């Protein structure tokens, strides 16, 4: 731009351009604009989201916006405005930032995977209680790899098998595991639930899963951030929300070692019927735990001796499962 076009006309004379506002004032103005935009879109987290988006654009922490606000160039301001528009359309904040934290680890996320939830951190905490030294652990439906990675990070002695049907999700999980330096102890497997685990039959000490558990009919009532942006396959649990959980419970005895455990995250109201299914499938000491909201969110049990992979009862049960699945 020429010096003449960059100048400002003052009192009929051409003078120097008006100085840019000081950084603190500019940051305050941008944050205020962001909060107004996001509140108008009905977002209850408008201020936090505006702070996250501006801090990410400027490459600083949220607190730095107030304590050490940096200068904001015109290009950065335009990118921030574009991010605000996307968030106002209810695109998840985590997709805009590109990451979410889970048990102190940062995971890349996007439309291919379910965004890690704080509730699932409690599933991992409980699962860690079931692992013997040097355990082989299977994470069914690994998605971003957050559960598998959190377990491997907490227990350097264990090996984790992370099963995922979606190729796009497997790619995300592989990137996350490599970035966290865990790819040598977590193996990502391609397949549907137990399909790729035949070679580990009777050798898995713990199966952990956060399967889809939302009833199909309830999906339209989910928040727009979830309904429109997260993968349906990671949410839809069938007519009553328990279709995938039942498959996991029924198939687990064919993979678990004697005394091995199964820990599953479940939906509200699903604990009684799924606990009964676990009992029918040979699990003992079946118990539940509540999430921070008081919902029975987690179900676990140990495989009884009569359900060990080599037992007559286990062989008969696997045959029944294969017939039910058309195999």
Q: What is the pLDDT of residues 74-110, one digit of tens each?
A: 999 999 999 999 999 999 999 999 999 999 999 999 9
Residue 311: other Cβ atoms inside 10 A: 16
Would you place residue 23 in the very low, low, confident or very high pLDDT band (cuts 50, 70, 90)?
Answer: confident
Q: Which two tokens mark 63?
A: 């607190």
Residue by residue, DSSP assigns 44-113 as TTHHHHHHHHHHHHHTS-TTHHHHSPPP--HHHHHHHHHHHHHHHTT--HHHHHTEEEETTEEEE--TTS
Mean pLDDT of 116-128: 96
Q: Which two tokens mark 148?
A: 């598998």
Q: Which two tokens mark 178?
A: 């490599």
Is pLDDT above 50 for 125? yes
Would you place residue 17 in the very low, low, confident or very high pLDDT band (cuts 50, 70, 90)?
Answer: low
Number of H helices, E strands in the chain: 13, 11
Contact by Cβ (8 Å): 205, 137: yes
Would you place residue 310 in the very low, low, confident or very high pLDDT band (cuts 50, 70, 90)?
Answer: very low
pTM of the model: 0.85
Please state, rounded to an integer, the average pLDDT across all residues of the chain.
89
Q: What is the pLDDT of residue 22?
A: 72
How far, CA to CA in Å, does 4 sit from each of 1, 16, 20? 8, 9, 18
Is pLDDT above 90 for 14? no
Q: What is the pLDDT of residue 130?
A: 93
* Domains of the chain listed by start with CATH number: 21-89 (1.10.8), 99-324 (3.40.50.150)
Q: Which DSSP symbol is given to 212?
A: -
């Amino acid at each position: 731009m020429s010096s003449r076009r960059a100048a400002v006309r003052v009192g009929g004379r051409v003078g120097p351009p008006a100085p840019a506002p000081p950084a603190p004032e500019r940051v305050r103005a941008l944050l205020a604009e962001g909060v107004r935009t996001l509140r108008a879109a009905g977002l209850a987290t408008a201020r936090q989201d505006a702070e996250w988006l501006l801090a990410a654009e400027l490459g600083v922490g949220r607190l730095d916006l107030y304590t050490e606000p940096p200068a904001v160039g015109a290009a950065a301001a335009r990118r921030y405005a574009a991010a605000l528009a996307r968030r106002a359309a209810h695109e998840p904040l985590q997709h805009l930032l590109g990451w979410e934290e889970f048990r102190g680890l940062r995971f890349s996320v996007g439309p291919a995977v379910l965004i890690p939830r704080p509730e699932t951190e409690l599933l991992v905490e409980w699962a860690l209680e079931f692992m013997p030294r040097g355990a082989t652990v299977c994470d069914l439906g690994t998605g971003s790899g957050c559960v598998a990675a959190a377990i491997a990070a907490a227990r350097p002695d264990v090996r984790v098998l992370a099963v995922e049907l979606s190729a796009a999700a497997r790619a995300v999980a592989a990137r996350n595991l490599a970035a966290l330096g865990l790819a040598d102890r977590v193996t990502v497997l391609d397949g549907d639930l137990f399909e790729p685990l035949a070679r580990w039959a009777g050798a898995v000490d713990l199966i952990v899963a956060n399967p889809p558990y939302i009833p199909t009919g309830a999906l339209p009532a989910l928040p727009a951030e979830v309904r429109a942006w997260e993968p349906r396959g990671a949410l839809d649990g069938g007519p009553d929300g328990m279709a995938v959980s039942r498959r996991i419970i029924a198939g687990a005895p064919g993979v678990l070692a004697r005394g091995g455990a199964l820990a599953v995250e479940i939906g509200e109201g699903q604990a009684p019927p799924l606990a009964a299914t676990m009992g029918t499938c040979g699990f003992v000491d079946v118990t539940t735990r509540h999430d921070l909201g008081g919902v029975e969110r987690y179900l676990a049990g140990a495989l009884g001796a009569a359900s060990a992979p080599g037992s007559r009862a286990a062989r008969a049960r696997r045959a029944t499962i294969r017939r039910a699945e058309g195999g």
